Chains A and B, each alone.
Chain A
């Protein structure tokens, strides 16, 4: 144990005194949170270029109503009420009569105008869009024509993910509903009542104070916090783990390349060497975590929103962090020892990143149905437990009490097994020079030692 601690102390001090540690401390959150930063920047600088839209109305009745609905909406959203600054594009509409020799020729004409930049897009209101009736099935020309007649089509050069289509869909829907109401003789003054939508607000559950017996009031839930807190907690865990494991892989590969290990093996066993390096990497990550967790908590309480992160989450965060760190750092040591060159370290990094990267791809489905079968199974998969179980625990509905413990048991068992296998790979591979082992070699070393 003495030798493990001495190796860990040397590696730890060398790594945190390195300026790359300070840089990574600052840059890691920027890289991991880059997407959100991008969204924030785009919100701060919205695209407010004018949008010219043509409406090709085969009904001959609804274009004006759609334009009216769109302009009402546009007027409401155009300027920020507090700052008076324009924050949405201004829409301009023109109505195009359906009078071309053929619908296709007219669509081509309008498409060319979009290509030339005269129009941003055009809407085509099908002849039966006002009363679409039953859905039309079949792929024959007649069926396709019928289907086209009962829809509103949006033609544009922009991506299908662009927000203009959604914006216009809302206006077109309102315009069509108003046209239907007018047809049955409803006065325009009733439109607001009939068509106004009522928001459904998310509220917290009501609780009773155990001491006073007083029933507390429900509070409106913050959707951003409901999403942001669990995601941030999960992302923070993944980021801190990678800050320890990723440099570990390249550090072991570099030390192997510099033939440092043979000298050390005269004084320490391979296991002592590996565990010393693993502890140093864990120490580096825990140092980073203190910086982020303490800093984050300080900011949250400073903004009087400290309650967003339940205190019960902190111990679990650190339990999962330690387990995940041990698991991935041991894996990094084994992979680093197996490297025959620095390029190998780059290639093998994907194996190390996978247990952190995959939960990033899975977090949204897990958040939408956190207690569904798939979310439960994924969060009980030992390699994903630290991130996905923590994510589920951070959600307001929480998880059944047994699940974190079962997940933790699985993770610890996997960590012990992987550390044991990693030590065997490390022992064999660490003195192997000039050869890049294959996956089969790694498995053989892990099994036979």
Chain B
């Protein structure tokens, strides 16, 4: 393994299935030691990109390098991949299954590591249980352990928090950060914008196979400026206001998007005229809002953060 400042470098990759371009001329760089998040609507090409980084799919064109080396057909024990779907041998005992996966990737016994991870994620009592007896959340955690034992240098997680309760989600989040602290690079995909905002050092949005956003959260938000107002106001629904392009009702508060050149003070005056203003803040747009602006109706499945 060569030292490289970047864990993954992707250059103009394209992958087509039949007549559909799943990934179309995508380029990006994943800095080593970072948590890099993919966001995008369903079918936008996130999973295909992750599979290509892992080597499961080959790009039709373009180049992928992991730690400076081109991705070939052979598997590396330093790259681990957690698919979105749960796919475990249901008839195997949890401990035996995890040892099998660990040994398959590393070629050595991983018994002690498996036991430690089971205890850490609260599954110590399930070691001798068959996988088919586990709940969905427990299976997801088992699958996560199967991915991180032995510890990889590049961890690729496709929707790792799907189906997890808040406690389990926190356990996985902590585990991911712990792995990052120990030097691992993490690439993850998520539909949960809060996770992307809070966990990821870099965020890349893929839409219809193409990269439409890439950078830190601050860099992305900077592109949009302070064009968002969050306001809590009495007096019923907010009527159309001059300089306000869109009003989104978030329940207790409303989010207003201002058009370019609009003065927030003018908006405030108009709101006061409408009813009592309980709170008013001017801010950068949330990642959720940016997502909606880009993906529009195609992003219907996106979770409300």
Contact = CB atoms under 8 A, between A and B. Distances in A.
A14 B92 contact: yes
B287 interface: no
A168 B83 CA distance: 75
B296 interface: no
Contacts of B75: 3, 266-269, 272
Contacts of B83: 259, 262-263, 266
A261 B85 CA distance: 10
A259 B85 contact: yes
Interface size on B, as a range, is: 20 to 34
A131 interface: no
Contacts of B81: 265-266
Interface in B55-101: 55-56, 73-75, 79-83, 85-92, 100-101
Contacts of B176: none
Interface in B124-154: 143, 146-147
A282 to B, nearest CB: 20
A268 B104 contact: yes
A271 B85 CA distance: 22
A259 B56 contact: no
A269 B101 contact: no
Given A262-B56, A265-B56, A6 B103 contact: yes
A260 interface: yes
Interface string B30-46: 00000000000000000
B72 to A, nearest CB: 10
A256 to B, nearest CB: 9
A263 B143 contact: yes
Contacts of B56: 262, 265-266, 431
A433 to B, nearest CB: 9
B52 to A, nearest CB: 12
Nearest to A271: B73
Nearest to A257: B87
Contacts of A267: 75, 80, 101, 104-105
Contacts of B147: 266
B54 interface: yes
Most chain A beta-carbon contacts within 10 A, residue among B88, B90, B92, B104: B104
Interface in A1-40: 2-3, 6-7, 10, 14
Interface of B: 51, 54-56, 73-75, 79-83, 85-92, 100-101, 103-105, 107, 143, 146-147, 156
17 contacts: A6-B100, A6-B103, A6-B104, A258-B87, A258-B88, A259-B83, A259-B85, A261-B87, A262-B85, A263-B87, A263-B143, A265-B54, A266-B75, A266-B80, A267-B75, A267-B105, A269-B73
Given A6-B103, A263-B82, 12 more contacts: A255-B89, A258-B88, A259-B85, A260-B88, A260-B89, A263-B88, A263-B143, A265-B54, A267-B80, A268-B75, A268-B104, A272-B75
